[in-house]
Chain A
Amino acid sequence: MNPTDLTIAQARDLLAKGELSSMELVEAHIDAMETSRELNAYITETPEMALAMAQDSDARRARGEGNGLLEGIPVAIKDLFCTKGTLTTAGSHILDGFHPVYESTVTANMWRQGAVMLGKTNLDEFAMGSSNLTSYHGPAINPWKARGDHRARVPGGSSGGSAAAVAGRLALGATGTDTGGSIRQPAAFTGTVGIKPTYGRCSRWGIVAFASSLDQAGPMTRSVRDAAIMLRAMAGHDGKDSTSADVAVPDFEADLDKGVKGMTIGIPKEYRSEAMAGEIEALWQQGSAWLEEQGARMVEISLPHTKYALPAYYIVAPAEASSNLSRYDGVKYGLRVEADDLLSMYEKTRAAGFSKEVKRRILIGTYVLSAGYYDAYYLKAQKVRTRIAEDFRDAFGHVDAILTPATPSAAFPADEPPSDPVAMYLNDIFTVPVNLAGLPGMSVPAGLSGEGLPLGLQIIGKAFDEATVLRVGRAIEHAAGFDTRPEGF
């Protein structure tokens, strides 16, 4: 078996038994990265660092140390996490040449647990997108193709490079971030597992900020067990992020196989619409049947404000982005376009450094926060957000988890993206409400579309109850037996 085909759990066990070295594992991945560059999954490959880290890991193990959760495991890091001394671009021209002088808390946690960095993965610019088409470094490509159609498919976004790397066997796991679906949608598009934990579960310190009240980091892997292992290594309280939650991080793997017997799982009726594709509806019903067969009680629930989640999100997220992205001014780091006066220098630098989609969002955000409009837009959206969170709170009074589709469709062709911004935003219709309410949500591969592309189901849980989300996800994974892989990878 090629070491790149292992899951994290399998690799961990082989490493522990001494039947595999981290060096062998890393070398196999470096080879795979070299032969699969057409996926454009990585913006920066760091093979030398990976080999050095693998050597250190093997040496620790030989000394009888090295009992970290990810000891010797090669992973990819979304290029939104600051990594000390390694180029960090956020997929943007404006961060040209930026080499952080510090390490993000999440990646530092992973290195402390023995993980090995293979490189930094591609993403939509500043994590704003659902296709990876807005990256300054070119689009990442989905390893999956539709049957009888050789056109490249998008891997989803914004964590598209991480999804492509994991699905294409170019990393055992990868970090992602999710502001409105940026872990779950690409996971669904690539047949991988992705979990956005509860807001506050992972520190945001050192992650390039998009929308601070929505951003969360999480793992992207090829199995639910791997997601449980990796999440535990990433999570934990951090004094450097005031919104990081001071709650214990459980061993998410411990209860993974305990099943769903006796659980009550909600099916929100507002997620069903006339427009829903037949195969998405069928997948959702199949998922519900699988859980019922395993002893869960499925009940219909109501989340009445669901339809307002996307419009509220497209006020809150751009507003916060316009503030966060004001730091890119041509003075402190990255690109500068010279001009005679300071104001022109700012304006020209930002005009050249940001792409269309980022400018669009900064301008919307600036508008909704500008004098006279704050109450009508931002404040109103934050009130609607309270309503959305209340809907979930009411539902979780009588259910343990919620099951929905992850995306309204399978991956679309890279040369035929949705025609206008709002149509593109609709990709996140099932995922955005979860970010607005700060809850954990996971996408698990559950089947194939009529065209042979992967489709995912989403499990939503109570705040800080990722353990239940993972358990339900494991039950779906078990029933689905999803073992198809992209041809040639």
Chain B
Amino acid sequence: MSFDKTTVARISRLARIATTPAEQERLAGELGGILAWVEQLDEVDVAGVAPMTSVVEMNLKAREDVVSDGGDAEAILKNAPSSAHGFFVVPKVVE
């Protein structure tokens, strides 16, 4: 399958990464190469095989449904590039 600039533009929008036309050109080649290489997986017979969902055999533990942390807005905002009155500040989204 060919991997073109339009596809790169579409996925970079989905990934929220701005790309220039020149970068899209380069990435189309690189990503196309990687995807062509992974297509060898089609050789593997996976009929009836369950996809791996748990890396080692263990059951997820249940815990008490109680609040164990939180209520520390100051700590959460400490690294924010912009904050005010206990909130993160972002560019205006509602006119």
Q: Which residues of A contact B (CB under 8 A)?
A: 97-101, 198-200, 213-214, 239, 242-243, 245-246, 305, 307-308, 311-312, 314-315, 322, 326, 329-336, 338-348, 350-351, 354, 359-360, 362-364, 366-367, 370, 377, 379-387, 389, 420-422, 437-438, 463-464
Contacts and interface: CB of A to CB of B under 8 A. Distances in A.
Contact of B17 (A100, A347, A377): A347
Given A339-B91, A347-B17, A387 B55 contact: no
B65 to A, nearest CB: 13
A36 B58 CA distance: 45
Interface in B36-95: 37-44, 46, 49-53, 55-58, 60-61, 63, 75-76, 78-82, 88, 90-93
Nearest to B15: A366
A198 B33 CA distance: 32
Given A200-B56, A385-B52, A438-B55, A311 B40 contact: yes
Contacts of A331: 80-81, 88, 90
A387 B79 contact: no
B63 A239 contact: yes
A383 B27 contact: no
B41 A312 contact: yes
B44 A305 contact: yes
B81 A335 contact: yes
Which residue among A239, A326, A347 has the maximum number of chain B CB atoms within 10 Å of its CB? A347
Contacts of B61: 242, 246
B64 to A, nearest CB: 10
A383 B15 contact: no
Contacts, number: 164
B19 interface: yes
A315 B15 contact: no
A380 B52 CA distance: 10
A370 B8 CA distance: 12
24 contacts: A198-B56, A239-B63, A243-B55, A245-B56, A308-B40, A311-B39, A314-B34, A315-B41, A326-B16, A336-B81, A342-B93, A347-B17, A347-B18, A354-B17, A363-B12, A363-B31, A364-B31, A364-B34, A367-B7, A381-B38, A386-B46, A386-B51, A437-B55, A464-B56
Interface of B: 7-8, 11-19, 27, 30-31, 33-35, 37-44, 46, 49-53, 55-58, 60-61, 63, 75-76, 78-82, 88, 90-93
A377 B70 CA distance: 38
Nearest to B69: A240
A463 B56 contact: yes
B51 A379 contact: yes
Contacts of B43: 308
Contacts of B30: 360, 420-421
A381 B76 CA distance: 36
A198 B56 CA distance: 8
Contacts of B60: 242
A290 B91 CA distance: 65
Contacts of A370: 11, 14
A382 B51 contact: yes
Given A311-B38, A422-B33, A389 B52 contact: yes
B22 to A, nearest CB: 13
Given A213-B55, A362-B15, A422-B33, 5 more contacts: A311-B41, A322-B15, A354-B17, A363-B11, A384-B46
Contacts of B57: 463
Given A311-B40, A384-B41, A199 B16 contact: no
B79 A333 contact: yes
Contacts of B8: 363
Contacts of A344: 18, 91
Nearest to A98: B79
Given A99-B78, A198-B56, A311-B37, A367 B51 contact: no
A214 B56 CA distance: 11
B58 A381 contact: no
Q: Which 9 A-B pairs have the closest CB atoms?
A: A382-B51, A333-B79, A438-B55, A336-B81, A347-B18, A383-B46, A351-B18, A311-B38, A366-B15
Contacts of A342: 90-91, 93
Contact of A360 (B31, B38, B53, B92): B31
Contacts of B41: 308, 311-312, 315, 380-381, 384
A342 to B, nearest CB: 5
A348 B27 contact: no
Contacts of B49: 383, 386-387
Contacts of A199: 55-56
A305 B12 CA distance: 33
Given A359-B17, A363-B12, A420-B33, A315 B80 contact: no
Contacts of A198: 56
A422 B50 contact: no
A382 B42 CA distance: 13
A311 B29 CA distance: 17
B46 A387 contact: yes
